[in-house]
A and B are shown apart, each in its own frame.
Chain A
Amino acid sequence: MFIKVNREKCTGCSLCISSCPYDAIVLHEERAQITPLCQLCRACLGVCPEGAISEVAEASDQKEKGQGSGVWVFAEQRDGVIAGVSLELLGAGRRLAGQLGTDLSAVLFGKVGPGPEELIRWGADRVYYCADDSVANFNDEPYARLLADLITEHRPEIVLAGATAIGRSFIPRIAARLHTGLTADCTSLEIDPETRDLLQVRPAFGGNIMATILCPHTRPQMATVRPRVMKPAEYASDRKGEIIPVSAAQAVSRTRVVETIREVSEVAVNLADANIIVAGGRGVGGEKGFALLFELADALGASIGASRGAVDEGWIPYRHQVGQTGKTVGPKIYIACGISGAVQHVVGMQSSDIIIAINKNPEAPIFNIATYGIVGEIAEIIPLLTRKIREAKGL
């Protein structure tokens, strides 16, 4: 496939030029021209008012579709606790399997008490379960090898994993090994009823654009999925399914976890999993200001986030940083306190369901994306808000 400009139709208006994220279109003799910079991202298709830009199919585009059936979910566990995102994926997987008229399997590595039964109650028809000690802790190579071998043996058509530190680290190795596609950090998954292909929607360019990604020819279609966007399926304590034991005989690893350090903080820093985040910026004014935020977070059962400004000032450690240079989060409620709303911060939190902005500057850009805005001083608003929330919760 390549992109072509019909020089007869082109009027040289330049609209397509500014639409190209890769600067791959230039004006040549008053007509648009596609240069070798083109990444075939299709951003320019449909921009042209004259319909002068089109994609041209080539013989090499025609490939046979790979075969496979069944939807799989990698159920991630750490310390014997199954990650919340895995249950969400079972919900999404259940829905996709229903649309495809196929079944849903979970894959679980490491011994987890009633783990496999629980996965069935959360929607799986079948669980491939490796309780071997060698995969109790996460290491990329054995995890990738074991899952890749299972996929090769059973040929599912879709494989989903959480877009967590673990999923985003080892799933790419499987895509490389099996020469199939992997879509990163998806926020929506649908089936195209005509082709049965998985339509995978994900943010790119720091969340400034959304893209639909296809994996049309190879199977399985693989995706990592952002935590907290899919809904878990209904839990049914009487659901029955099949548990298939798997051995980890091939598990060799050239990496070894020497030590695991959990962040010890009164308020959790697991921002990726947080339901509510209270975040502070330069406008918080200092460590004293952050102490107020910690109290609010405590009242709400929230985690603490920060903008780069506050981290650079040394008021709070880097691990709390949200934004392009920190973590990307999507909680139910994000309370931005004294944060101006620079794009670099906004790209890391704009997918939050409800954004509450508190800032003394009514012109602050954070108000443009806020669901609720309050103009006022942090030192005044926050303690009052904490008190009112405690009252409302009857604390």
Chain B
Amino acid sequence: MKIVVCIKQVPDTAEVRINPETNTLVRDGVPSIINPYDMHALEAALQIRETAGGEVTALTMGPPQAEAALREAISMGVDKAVLVTDRLFAGSDTWATAYTLCKAVEHIGADIILCGKQAIDGDTAQVGPEMAEFLDMPHVAYVRKIDEVTNNRIVVQRLMDDGYDVVESAVPVLLTVVRELNIPRMPSLKGKMAAKKAAIIRLTAADLKADENSLGLKGSPTQVKNIFAPEAKTNRMMLSGTAEESIDQLVKELAAMKCL
């Protein structure tokens, strides 16, 4: 069983802010981390390897610095790490990102591909399903439990807005996972040692035999026109007095707005 986990290095967005006066991002000293959802994808891959056997490859597309994310994945126990990096990839939207990752997966070979539900910077949740289409594979998004894995069939639970579906899929398949799936393991001491020494496989656009017109900005149908701060809520009101008084005031406000 060949398993590929797609991981993305992201700024820890909880700490990214917009300065409302200048309308610019403030990210002084914001650390880069592995996208939190991808940690669960990594854990799922390692668990599948433990039961079904096989090999786990961590794959990332990004700048040379993204190597740090791959080393962290190795410390958790993945067998191989692939960094897809090229100046030509700059400005990729989800279409170009998924196309590039698809080319890399074709290069590596995979029976099961695991992605996070979404990356916490772009927040689109589109790369996984788009990759599946490029690879002509089925996919199941929002996987919250993996019930059964064999060489040609997998049964998983997919989180829906009103509950969940039990879904059976043919293998090869691509899954995007939610946090409920598992608790990612901590790196072992041995893993950390291995991570320092491990060789990272590097692939460029030329290695992937990718169509240049489908890469980076050129291959991206969408463009970010501008960014700005979310509207701040204005009418703030602290309700004071005794508990009863403040509640009366609140209920009155709600009733006035026809919320009851």
CB within 8 Å of B: which residues of A?
Answer: 1, 15, 18-23, 35-47, 60, 78, 140-141, 144, 164-166, 168-170, 172-177, 179-185, 199, 203-218, 253-263, 269-270, 272-273, 276, 300, 318-319, 324-326, 332-333, 343-344, 347, 350-351, 354-356, 367, 369-376, 380-381, 384-385, 388-389, 392-393
Contact = CB atoms under 8 A, between A and B. Distances in A.
A354 B244 contact: no
Interface size class of B (residues with CB under 8 A): 35 or more
Contact of B225 (A141, A199, A355): A199
B108 interface: no
Contacts of A263: 162-164
Contact of B13 (A164, A205, A333): A205
B63 to A, nearest CB: 5
25 contacts: A15-B24, A21-B27, A43-B227, A46-B24, A169-B141, A170-B129, A173-B132, A176-B95, A181-B95, A184-B126, A205-B121, A208-B13, A208-B18, A210-B228, A212-B224, A214-B222, A255-B138, A255-B169, A257-B166, A260-B165, A261-B164, A262-B163, A333-B259, A369-B233, A392-B254
A24 B29 CA distance: 13
A388 B249 CA distance: 11
A315 B99 CA distance: 43
B167 A255 contact: yes
Contacts of A374: 238-239, 243, 246-247, 250
A128 B221 CA distance: 26
A41 B167 contact: no
Contacts of A176: 95, 98-99, 129-131, 133-134
B236 A371 contact: yes
A367 to B, nearest CB: 7
Contacts of B243: 374, 376, 380-381, 384
Interface stretch (B74-82, B86-94, B186-194, B202-210): B86-94
B167 A257 contact: yes
B169 A324 contact: no
A321 B233 CA distance: 23
Contacts of A350: 230
A369 B226 CA distance: 25
A76 to B, nearest CB: 10
Given A18-B26, A43-B227, A203-B123, A372 B239 contact: yes
Contacts of B222: 181-183, 213-215
B52 interface: no
B14 A206 contact: yes
Interface in B111-167: 120-134, 137-142, 155, 158-167
A282 B96 CA distance: 42
Contacts of A47: 22, 24
A169 B142 contact: yes
A257 B250 contact: no
Given A40-B91, A205-B123, A215-B221, A20 B163 contact: no
Most buried by B among A168, A180, A356: A168
B138 A21 contact: no
Contacts of A276: 259
Nearest to A213: B222
A371 B170 contact: no
B253 A372 contact: yes
A259 B165 contact: yes
A135 to B, nearest CB: 15
B223 interface: yes
B229 A175 contact: no
Contacts of A23: 11, 27, 32
Given A263-B162, A344-B14, A392 B251 contact: yes
Given A261-B164, A300-B260, 7 more contacts: A36-B90, A172-B128, A176-B134, A180-B95, A184-B124, A214-B225, A384-B244
B25 A60 contact: no
Nearest to B98: A176
B138 A141 contact: yes
B243 to A, nearest CB: 5
B28 to A, nearest CB: 5
B257 A207 contact: no
Contacts of B223: 213-216
Nearest to B29: A18
Contacts of A355: 233
Contacts of A42: 224-227
Nearest to B123: A204
A66 B155 CA distance: 40
B51 interface: no
Contacts of B64: 36
B249 to A, nearest CB: 8
Given A46-B23, A165-B141, A272-B161, A256 B123 contact: no
B162 A258 contact: no
Given A324-B120, A367-B238, A22 B165 contact: no
B120 A41 contact: no
A160 B46 CA distance: 38
B237 A21 contact: no
Contact of A389 (B131, B227, B251): B251
B103 to A, nearest CB: 13
Nearest to A317: B180
Interface string B14-39: 11111000111111100010001000
Contacts of B141: 140, 165, 168-169
